[in-house]
Structure 1
Amino acid sequence: MTLRDIASFRPATPGNGMEPGGWAVVGLPANFVAAASVEVVSGTLLGQPADVRFTPVGYRWVHGDGAEVEASTPGAIWAALGQREFSETATSHAYEASGVYTVELAVVLRAEYRFAGSPWRSIAGTLTVAGEPQRVLVGEVDTVLTQDDCNADPAGPGC
C-alpha cells in the first residue's frame, strides 16, 4: 500500500491560529498554534470498506519574512502553557520589521490503513497538508510608564 493508493481519503485542512489574533509587535514573540489532530477517514480502498488514520507528526510555519519554524508539536496558547503574553514558545516567531506578512502552515501526517476493523498497517512516507494562509499585521509600539490609571487620573504623572 502506498500514499498514492489512499489519494481519495482526504484529511481535514489544519487550522492556523496565532496570538495575539492577527497582529504582532516588532521584536516580541507572536505565538503560532496549529489545530490538527488524529483523524480517521472512512471510504473504499481496493474495492473494500476501509479506514485511513492520519496522525500529525510535524508542523512548519513559513512566516513571510524569510523565517521558518519547525516543531514536533502543534503549539499551545500562552495560558495553557502557563506563560505570560509575548513569551517565547517552541512555535513562536518575532518579526524584525513592521509590515503585513502572510504565514503559511504545513502539517506533516503519517498514514495508516485497515480493512473492516483489522489492525492498523503503516503506509511508507508522509503526507503534507497546508492550512489556510494567515495575514499578520506587524507594528511598533511605544510604552509609557505612568504612576496610576490615566483614565481615573488624567492629570497624573505620565498621563
Structure 2
Amino acid sequence: MAEASVEVVAGTLLGRPAEVRFTPVGYRWVHSDGATVTSSTPGASWERLGLREFSPTATSHVYAEPGEYTVTVEVALAAEYRFGGSGWQGIAGTLAVAGPAQQVLVGEVDTVLTKDDCDANPEGPGC
C-alpha cells in the first residue's frame, strides 16, 4: 500500500501570499521484471478490502520466477495554485514523484498455516 495525502506549500510572491496544493490522483508501481501496475487508489490490505488473503487486487503483481526484485511506487500529483486570496486554479498535467525503491524477495512455498485441514476449515489461510 502506498501512502500520499494532499499537501499545501505556502509562501510569498511579490509580497502577497501564494499557495500550491498537490493532490494524489494516481499510483504506478514499477517492478524490476519490467511490469508496471497503475491504479487510481493507493491499495489496501486484504482485510480492509474485505478479501481473503492472497486474493488478486487492483495493485497486485505476480512474478513469473522466484528471485530478488525491486519495486518503486510513483505517485501522480495534480497541482493547483492560488495567489493573494484568490480561488484555486488548476495547473495542466501531473507531477510524478517516486518513492524509495523497495526490495522484494519472491519464492515458492507450500502453505501449511491451517487450523485443522482445508476440508474442515475451508476459510483458513492457504485453503
TM-score calculated relative to the size of structure 2? 0.81
Cα separation, 2, equivalents of 1:60 and 1:146: 34
Moved more, 127-136 or 139-148: 139-148
Aligned residue among 101, 107, 124 for 1:133: 101
Give the secondary structure class of the aligned counterpart of 1:91.
coil
Q: State the aligned residue count.
A: 117
Paired position in structure 2 for 1:97: 65
TM-fit CA distance, 1:147 = 8.7
Unaligned runs of 5+ in 2: 118-127
Within 5 Å, give how 1:48-127 maps onto structure 2.
48-127=16-95
Q: For the Cα contact (< 8 Å) 2:17–2:85, is it kept in 1?
A: no
Give the secondary structure class of the aligned counterpart of 2:70.
strand
Runs of 4 or more, structure 1, over 4 Å off, are 144-149
Cα separation, 2, equivalents of 1:70 and 1:119: 31
Unaligned runs of 5+ in 1: 1-32, 150-159
Cα separation, 1, equivalents of 2:97 and 2:115: 50
Cα separation, 2, equivalents of 1:79 and 1:145: 17
TM-score calculated relative to the size of structure 1? 0.66
- CA RMSD across the alignment: 2.2
CA 1:145–1:132 in 2, change beyond 3 Å: closer, same or farther? Answer: closer
